[in-house]
């Protein structure tokens, strides 16, 4: 009997799908939800997602130069589309996984009002934004300032983070009194965690469509292909909502 059970166990192990790993380039605004998704992904599939976080613009350059990523989760739709046009993605794999929300934030309670009028009347020395040439959230921030007619007036006060993570750091450490960040950086479980916030109306800037794409080295990689499917599933979508993202 024991010999029979051992044989069955051996056969089941032989036929089980081995756990695989996927290296993922992830826009820095998506760091907290990606870590949460990766944990659920590992529990549900046995595969490991290993994210690296940074600006979408820098990842574009790294991927073009052969960086060892199998998937890319961008902070915009243009960067993956550009890679697609250049033949550097798996055809047909690109889709929008999230729609980002921009927020003006200060760690000080009561500092930022609910309409963003602090930008017109507040006495502050520094306003942090992400580099608009590299980070979509930075480009959206510039659009908001233009829409409000404040870009020229506030140019001397702008400090630019390399990406949205560094921008948040500028504000959280007090190097800038306030800044435009991703809502996901200051929200968890559907609630803003600290400070004061103006959730910027989406009508003030172009939609922040965040696209993902499978890269050529991810084709045939079970973990990479499973992750792309997982991002469309109910668990991933629930995590997205809890961090303030809109669903595509």
| pLDDT tens, residue by residue, 30-61 | 999 999 999 999 999 999 999 999 888 899 99
pLDDT beyond 50 at 7: no
CA distance 160 to 166: 9
Q: What is the pLDDT of residues 60-104, one digit of tens each?
A: 999 999 999 999 999 999 999 999 999 999 999 999 999 999 999
The percent of residues in the chain predicted with pLDDT above 90, rounded, is 83
Say what the pLDDT of residue 116 is.
96
Say what the pLDDT of residue 56 is.
87
Mean of pLDDT over the chain: 91
CA distance 41 to 45: 6
The percent of residues in the chain predicted with pLDDT above 70, rounded, is 93
Reported in sequence order, the residue ranges of the chain that DSSP labels E, i.e. its strands, are 21-27, 48-54, 71-73, 95-100, 102-106, 127-130, 158-161, 178-182, 187-188, 191-192, 196-199, 208-214
Examine domains 22-99+207-242 and 101-204 and report if their fold is the same: yes
CB-CB contact of 202 with 169 (8 Å): no
Across residues 216-239, what is the average pLDDT?
97
Say what the pLDDT of residue 18 is.
64
User: Which is more confidently placed, 180 or 54?
Assistant: 180
Tokens of 186: 């200051």
Say what the pLDDT of residue 2 is.
40
CA distance 208 to 245: 10
Across residues 126-154, what is the average pLDDT?
94
CB-CB contact of 83 with 72 (8 Å): yes
Q: What is the pLDDT of residues 160-177, one digit of tens each?
A: 998 899 999 999 999 999
- Residue whose entry in the numeric block shows the structure tokens 């965690």: 193
Across residues 197-223, what is the average pLDDT?
97
Q: 183-202: string of b/e by CB count within 10 Å (b at 16+)?
A: bbbbbeeeeeeebbbbbbee
Residue 61 CB partners (closer than 8 Å, separation 6+): none
The CATH code for residues 101-204 is 3.40.190.10
Say what the pLDDT of residue 16 is.
40
Tokens of 54: 């940074």
pTM of model > 0.85: no
Say what the pLDDT of residue 135 is.
85
What residue ranges do the domains of the chain occupy?
22-99+207-242, 101-204
CATH superfamily to which 22-99+207-242 belongs: Periplasmic binding protein-like II (3.40.190.10)
Q: Other C-beta atoms within 10 Å of 19: how many?
A: 12
Residue 230 CB partners (closer than 8 Å, separation 6+): 37, 41, 44, 45, 236
The confidence band for 29, taking pLDDT boundaries of 50, 70 and 90, is confident
């Amino acid at each position: 009997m024991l010999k029979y059970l051992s044989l069955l166990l051996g056969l089941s192990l032989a036929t089980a799908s081995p756990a695989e790993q996927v290296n993922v380039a992830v826009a820095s605004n998506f760091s907290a939800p990606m870590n949460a998704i990766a944990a659920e992904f590992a529990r549900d599939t046995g595969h490991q997602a290993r994210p690296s976080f940074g600006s979408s613009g820098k990842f574009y350059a790294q991927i073009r130069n052969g960086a060892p990523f199998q998937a890319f989760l961008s902070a915009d739709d243009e960067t993956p589309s550009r890679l697609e046009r250049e033949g550097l993605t798996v055809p047909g794999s690109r889709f929008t996984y999230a729609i980002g929300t921009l927020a003006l934030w200060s760690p000080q309670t009561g500092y930022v009002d609910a309409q963003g009028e602090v930008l017109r009347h507040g006495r502050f020395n520094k306003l942090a934004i992400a580099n608009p040439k590299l980070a979509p959230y930075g480009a959206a921030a510039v659009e908001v300032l233009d829409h409000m007619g404040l870009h020229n007036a506030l140019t001397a006060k702008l400090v630019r983070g390399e990406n949205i993570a560094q921008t948040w750091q500028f504000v959280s450490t007090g190097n800038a009194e306030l800044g435009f960040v991703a809502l996901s950086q200051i929200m968890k479980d559907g609630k803003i965690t600290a400070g004061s916030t103006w959730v910027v109306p989406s009508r003030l800037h172009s939609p922040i469509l965040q696209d993902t794409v499978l890269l050529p080295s991810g084709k045939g990689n079970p973990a990479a292909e499973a992750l792309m499917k997982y991002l469309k599933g109910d668990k991933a979508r629930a995590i997205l909502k809890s961090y303030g993202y809109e669903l595509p």
